[in-house]
């Protein structure tokens, strides 16, 4: 009998079978990729030039695709070895699935805790920045529709944004968000269409109608190299950041093969690159070096740009759970560790013996964090209190790392 547990290690034999598909993986990765970077790419082009900017986008896209492919291979290998060991064993085994921790444990065991902390901080920080984006955009919309008072304040929109995004973070897996994630492409498509209409300067879409006595068009150059070019680099890099969800996509996909995963990867990267090139190129061509770091600020305030602000706000809110999903594992295990320490429990009573197949402790990641922290705080040097950092639990884990 095979006991299946979720990514937190809790007993979850009632969890439904894998529901992920190539399409759900594509939508999940695309939704993670398409975030607030769409607003800053024209400005990034103004700091690097359209030629250098395009090359940087291509390099970042290729690097991201390669990283996703490599992580997928690692996930498939770990999952296969874990499943094979579970099938061969006469005792129930836990099927946890690949995580950054398990991969780091196999390759860089001395940095596993650092990697988990970095992932938690990065994802949590990005999720907070999405709420800030909402609080930047929505007051303009409210003001354009005649609202006053608290409706044009940032605080209210941070709360509203959190109330919209937080429930989506409670779902068990990313495949549950496939339908919602598909709307990200719709929102970006509208924004790209609006940028193109203003770029063509057709009737009713004059990008400089609000600047009667001020310059609107700046210089356009293929190459711009300055210290500001380095400041624009993070916009290109973070525009293709979605690696934190690579393992979730692989763990959830049915009938997984590297070919099926690559279809999701290449499709999401290609879609994102297409949107980025259109938005950055047309936006830069419209305003040149005078484009604002938020391109929506460069456009006149009207109903079209207000709708675009609403769509971009919804876009980043759809990406909110894509950041919280990989971060919550690390945060929950840290909370669990702090709770254990606060109760004053002895390390030997709470940390299972290495390679003990009968241990049913709740979370292998939590156990390893406890080992590390306890080994640091222990003042005893005798062999009785020496704590190994090697993975334990089941033969499936041992097969991966030996």
**Domain ranges within the chain, ordered by starting residue:** 3-334
pLDDT average, residue stretch 237-251: 91
Q: How many CB atoms lie within 10 A of CB 212?
A: 7
- Position 11 scores a pLDDT of 40
Using the predicted structure, report yes or no on whether residue 141 has a pLDDT greater than 50. yes
Using the predicted structure, report yes or no on whether residue 391 has a pLDDT greater than 60. no
The DSSP bridge partners found for residue 3 are: 94
Using the predicted structure, report yes or no on whether residue 259 has a pLDDT greater than 60. yes
- Position 211 scores a pLDDT of 82
- Position 10 scores a pLDDT of 40
How is residue 271 written in tokens?
């879609």
Q: How many CB atoms lie within 10 A of CB 18?
A: 15
- Position 90 scores a pLDDT of 64
pLDDT in tens, 40-72: 999 999 999 999 999 999 999 999 999 999 999
- Alpha carbon separation from 298 to 192, 234, 283, 372 (Å, rounded): 15, 21, 10, 51
- Of the ranges 273-277, 301-305, 346-350, which one carries the lowest mean pLDDT score? 346-350
> Which string of DSSP letters, residue by residue, matches 277-301?
HHHHHHHHHHHGGG--SSHHHHS--
Q: How many CB atoms lie within 10 A of CB 243?
A: 17
Q: Label residue 93 by pLDDT band (50, 70, 90).
A: low
pLDDT in tens, 163-207: 999 999 888 777 788 888 899 999 999 999 999 999 998 888 999
Q: Residue 376: is it exposed, middle or buried by C-beta count within 10 angstroms (0-12/13-18/19+)?
A: exposed
pTM equals: 0.78
DSSP state of 13: T
């Amino acid at each position: 009998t095979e006991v299946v547990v979720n990514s937190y290690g809790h007993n979850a034999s009632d969890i439904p079978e894998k529901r992920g598909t190539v399409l759900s993986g594509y939508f999940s990765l695309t939704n993670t990729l398409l975030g607030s970077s769409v607003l800053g790419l024209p400005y990034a082009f103004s700091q690097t030039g359209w030629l250098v900017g395009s090359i940087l986008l291509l390099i970042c896209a290729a690097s991201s695709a390669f990283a996703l492919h490599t992580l997928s291979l690692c996930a498939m290998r770990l999952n296969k070895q874990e499943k094979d060991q579970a099938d061969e064993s006469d005792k129930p085994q836990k099927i946890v699935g690949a995580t950054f921790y398990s991969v780091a444990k196999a390759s860089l065991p001395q940095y596993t805790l650092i990697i988990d902390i970095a992932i938690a901080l990065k994802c949590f920080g990005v999720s907070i920045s999405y709420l800030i984006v909402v609080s930047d955009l929505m007051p303009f919309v409210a003001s354009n529709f005649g609202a006053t008072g608290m409706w044009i304040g940032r605080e209210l929109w941070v709360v509203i944004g959190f109330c919209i995004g937080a429930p989506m973070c409670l779902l068990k897996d990313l495949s549950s968000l496939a339908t919602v994630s598909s709307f990200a492409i719709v929102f970006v498509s509208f924004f790209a269409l609006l940028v193109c209409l203003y770029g063509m300067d057709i009737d009713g879409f004059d990008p400089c109608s609000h600047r009667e006595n001020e310059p609107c068009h700046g210089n356009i150059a293929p190459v711009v190299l300055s210290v500001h070019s380095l400041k624009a680099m993070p916009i290109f890099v973070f525009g293709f950041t979605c690696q934190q969800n690579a393992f979730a996509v692989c763990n959830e996909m049915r009938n997984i093969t590297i070919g099926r995963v690559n279809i999701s990867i290449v499709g999401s990267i290609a879609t994102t690159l297409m949107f980025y090139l259109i938005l950055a190129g047309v936006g830069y061509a419209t305003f040149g070096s005078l484009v604002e770091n938020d391109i929506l600020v460069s456009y006149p305030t009207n109903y079209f740009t207000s709708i675009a602000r609403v769509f971009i706000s919804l876009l980043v809110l759809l990406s909110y759970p894509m950041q919280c999903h990989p971060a919550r594992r690390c945060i929950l295990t840290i909370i669990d560790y702090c709770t254990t320490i606060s109760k004053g429990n002895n390390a030997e009573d709470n940390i299972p013996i290495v390679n003990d197949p009968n241990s049913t402790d709740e979370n292998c990641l939590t156990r390893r964090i406890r080992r590390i922290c306890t080994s640091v705080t222990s003042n005893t040097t005798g062999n009785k209190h020496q704590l190994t950092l090697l993975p334990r639990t089941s033969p499936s884990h041992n097969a991966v790392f030996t």
